[in-house]
């Protein structure tokens, strides 16, 4: 069973939408599991304080190292992956999602305030991870993104494994356009090649469409694709 631990100040948010649909069914069937750890439970004062002002000045507050470290040390086993969700982390992508789906357990720390004391990150072997170049009010939203992308790669969660292998980023390209019934809608018809029954031509058409879309919309991906 694949498991995620979420270290958060708002444990009531989880599993949230992940308890519905395919993910909810897989959760009920013990294909995956989620455990939330409330960081506030590890604070030592009566006010359950988890943050304080940064040394050197500056706006905002930081998550205290002693509180966060205690929540980690009492819940994480050795050799488990730990990720701190922060805008300054390395960029999350499909390759990393695949790697995480092969782990037995992953641990996600949801950032808040202006971040966490760097000493915790350095001493606990925590990797900093970002889902994109923008700012969120907290790491919980980012945790849902990571979980969503990883869970669908776990065997038994999504019924059609082939559909996963044909999606965007699987071959370094964005996905080709898709069409379904009715064949003609608002005077627009499905491309003739998709009605031909010629699977070789369909494959070539889809590849050419993926290449054109990637070249136009994601030049960065296109450059990487051409090098491979």
pLDDT tens digits, residue range 194-221? 999 999 999 999 999 999 999 999 999 9
Mean pLDDT within 61-75 = 97
CATH number of 170-227: 1.10.1270.20
- Closest alpha carbon to 85 in 129, 151, 120: 129
Tokens of 154: 């776990």
Whether 37 has a pLDDT exceeding 90, the answer reads yes
Contacts of 205 (CB under 8 A, 6+ apart): 176, 191, 193, 194
Whether 47 has a pLDDT exceeding 60, the answer reads yes
Percentage of the chain exceeding pLDDT 70: 96
Q: CATH class for domain 2-151? A: alpha beta
Q: What span, in angstroms and rounded, lies between the C-alpha atoms of 117 and 24? A: 35
- Return the domain boundaries, the chain: 2-151, 170-227
Residue predicted with more confidence, 225 or 171 = 225
Query: How much is the pLDDT for 163?
Result: 56
């Amino acid at each position: 069973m694949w498991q995620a631990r979420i270290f958060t100040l708002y444990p009531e948010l989880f599993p949230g939408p992940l308890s519905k649909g395919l993910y909810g069914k897989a959760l009920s069937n013990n294909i995956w599991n989620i455990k939330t750890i409330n960081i506030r439970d590890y604070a030592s004062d009566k006010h359950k304080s988890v943050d304080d002002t940064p040394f050197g000045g500056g706006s905002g507050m930081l998550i205290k190292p002693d509180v966060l470290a205690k929540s980690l040390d009492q819940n994480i086993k050795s050799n488990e992956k730990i990720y701190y969700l922060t805008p300054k982390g390395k960029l999350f992508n499909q390759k990393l999602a695949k790697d995480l789906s092969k782990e037995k357990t992953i641990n996600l720390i949801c950032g808040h305030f202006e971040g966490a004391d760097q000493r915790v990150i350095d001493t606990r072997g925590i990797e900093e991870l970002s889902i994109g170049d923008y700012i969120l009010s907290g790491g919980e939203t980012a945790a849902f993104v990571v979980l969503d992308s990883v869970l669908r790669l776990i065997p038994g969660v999504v019924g059609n494994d082939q559909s996963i292998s044909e999606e965007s980023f699987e071959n370094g390209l964005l996905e080709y356009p898709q069409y379904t019934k009715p064949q003609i809608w608002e005077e627009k018809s499905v491309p003739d090649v998709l009605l031909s029954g010629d699977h070789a031509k369909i494959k070539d058409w889809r590849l050419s469409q993926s290449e054109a879309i990637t070249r136009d919309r994601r030049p960065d991906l296109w450059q990487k694709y051409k090098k491979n």
